[in-house]
Amino acid sequence: MSNFLQFTVFGIMLGAGYAIAATGLVVTYTTSGVFNFAQGAVGMIAAFGYWELVASHHQPTWAALIIVLVLGASISGAFVERVLMRRLHGASAERPVMVTLGLMVILTGMATIIWSPTTQRTVEPMIGGQFRLVGINIQYQYVLIIGVAAAVALGLRALFYSTRTGFALRAVVDDPELLGMSGVSPHRMSQYGWILGFMMAALSGLLLAPTQTTGISIESFTLLVVSGYAAAIVGRLKNIPLTFAAAIAIGLAENYIRNYVEPHFSSQLQTDIDTALPMVFLFIALVTLPSVRLRAVGRLTSMRSPRVAGVRESIIAGVVFLVVAVVMAFGFSNTIVKGTTLLTLGGMVMCLAIVGLSLVLVTGYSGQVSLCQFSFMGIGAFIMGKVAGGGSLVGLLFATAICAGIGALIALPTIRLSDLYLALATFAFADAVAQGFFNDGRIYGSGGLQIARITLGSVSFGGDTAEFLLVAVFFVLSAWLVLAIRRSLFGRRLVAVNDSPAAYATVGLNIGFTKVAVFAIGAGMAGMAGALYGTVQGIVGTTDFDIFPGIIFVLFVTIWGIRTVSGAFLAALTFVALNQIWPSGVGIFAGLGVILIGRAANGILGIEAIHVRLPWVRRPTGGATAVPVGAFGGATGNEGLSAAG
């Protein structure tokens, strides 16, 4: 009985920490209509900043709290609203999602540079000691967390429903113009919301940091409050009491599972379950709770879609691309870059470009924000390595088909989700797979999974030159497939689903089938890319398909143009190049890039000022004929190998 009480107290404490972070999410969403994916990263920065002040510079606790919580969090929240989020008014709905993801990877990248991940850092409790109650020992730090969480929930409830400022905070996202007519500044109210949200995130980080007995780490602490995401979803991002209750329930469930269920499994499986639990709770909350309409995370905006490249343009551009690839293959066959051949790096670019093409289909065309394409990539590499050691086309076919099937299974329970909910569901799946599957030493092995290069009868692609040309051919074929889908009736249906799901369903079309089909195709392409990626590298390990590189790559595709083939290729090229030049700064570049392009829905390649004309592109009637510099060819905004749009 005493163990049960001890587990219950710790679970309530853990849930209280989640509740603080979750209420911050609710405040931010209620006042701006934006879900802050960087909430955990803000708490992580606050925890490390607090450690720096107290443990490294020996500042008193009260001074560190004022600096981190009052000054740092409030100023940062005001800055983010004023400089980043205010610029997004009128942007497409997925843009705020990408910007907050960009903010998350910027903060994690900065933390990696400032605080070495190899150094263990522990935070002392703000209130030391413990007392005994009903036969169990209770730490004062636990009481502090529970008391602060209750005070925050009650205070915010009173603020939103009993004060004029609270009414204004709730009204600003529904009708900012009407609020302005009443004499209240909508911008100031939205800024207040972001300040409160950042302060809640920092407070949760400060309070939970001392409970981490193994020390605080950048990635794990950033994802620690994901259970708070689940609580906020249960509260439908608007109900603070329900959010608080859900957070306590999740904290209790996590602690009971860790102490009553996990001991019956092996130590390795215990670790997998423990790390995947928050994401599992989030995914369950998303797919099981009744679907309701969420306030749009962006504003509806009219946007000119890129022109679809014709068959002739695409074929010519693909052939030109392959000719350039052949020249590079024989001209740079012996070039070494930091111990890796240039052609191997080029093969990695081609494989990642195929993943980018899957994002063009899923996110660019149909508007479904997917953050788990690297997960399918990792599963595809695993299957390729297990079927004939990777040296057979059968393994490639298996990887593609199985990943397509998994993609369909994931899409089925999430077809009713859109925008924010789907982004969260794929985020949860990506991290659950990374923590519970890829990190398992039995999957890739302690030294990584060996994957042989493909052999077709007597023809071997074991050399770097042959392998580079093989993946280049696969990239061109994948690009032609994406363009063919876009030109087909199914492609037009994808665009219709993106433009207006309600109108699509009204005319009698099956929106569920369309969403599942495109998600399965995208997952199959990503799985094929992962299988090819394994043959290029020769070996894959536990960190190749982590959640953060996957998110960073999505941001790069968004930066260049997520509705274009050229954008997918340039994103892959940039991603690989920056990983060679400055690996720890890749996230910072991606985050800053997404933030800087602001409302440019078609990315860099959609900016009119950098358009040029390529010779094989037909001049469209009544329109411009230029294309972005660096595109493979085509007209303004072309969606194809012959265009960048």
pLDDT for res 632? 46
Same domain, 245 and 381: no
| DSSP state letter for 340 | E
608 found inside a domain: no
Q: Are 209 and 269 within one domain?
A: yes
Judge whether 614 lies within some domain. no
Cα separation, 208 vs 548, whole angstroms:
22
pLDDT number for residue 619: 56
pLDDT in tens, 562-609: 889 999 999 999 999 999 998 888 999 999 988 887 666 677 887 655
What is the DSSP pairing of strand 340-341 with strand 336-337?
antiparallel
Specify if 73 maps to a domain.
yes
Structure tokens at 519: 């998600």
Overall domain count for the chain: 2
* Distance, CA of 272 to CA of 433 (rounded, Å): 10
Are the C-beta atoms of residues 632 and 321 closer than 8 Å to each other?
yes
- In the 8-state DSSP scheme, what is residue 308? B
Low-confidence stretches of the chain (pLDDT < 50) are 292-302, 622-640, 642-645
Q: Is residue 327 part of a domain?
A: yes
Evaluate whether residue 570 is within a structural domain.
no
pLDDT for res 521: 96
360/248 same-domain check = no
What residue numbers bound the domain in which 346 lies?
Answer: 311-547
pLDDT at residue number 299? 42
Would you list the DSSP string of 374-403?
HHHHHHHHHHHHHSGGG-SHHHHHHHHHHH
The pLDDT value recorded for residue 223 is 84
158 shares a domain with 33: yes
Query: Same domain for 388 and 518?
Result: yes
- Residue entry with tokens 């191997």: 344
Neighbour-count burial for 526-540, b at 16+ CB within 10 Å, e otherwise: bbbbbbbbbbbbbbb
Q: Are 274 and 393 found together in one domain?
A: no
In a domain, 301, yes or no: no
Give the pLDDT confidence score for residue 91 in this predicted structure: 61
Query: CATH code at 29?
Result: 1.10.3470
For helices 267-288 and 420-433, angle between their N-to-C axes, nearest 10 degrees: 170
Last residue of a domain, one of 503, 530, 547: 547
- Quick one: 394 and 276 in the same domain? no
Cα distance between residue 195 and residue 189, in whole Å: 10
Same domain flag for 238 and 329: no
Q: Does the residue 328 lie in any domain?
A: yes
pTM greater than 0.85? yes
Residues 429, 263, 217, 123, CA torsion sign: positive
Q: Do 243 and 104 share a structural domain?
A: yes
User: Which pLDDT value is given to residue 290?
Assistant: 64
Query: Looking at 508, 529, 547, which one is the last position of a domain?
Result: 547
Residues 363 and 436 occupy one common structural domain: yes
DSSP 14-26: HHHHHHHHHHHHH
Answer yes or no: is 555 within a domain.
no
**Is 337 found in the same domain as 211?**
no
Residue 296 is predicted with a pLDDT of 44
280 and 325 share a domain? no
Phi then psi for residue 351, to 5 deg, are -65, -45
- List, in sequence order, every beta strand (DSSP E) within 238-386: 336-337, 340-341
- Measuring CA to CA, which residue among 64, 67, 38 is closest to residue 51? 64
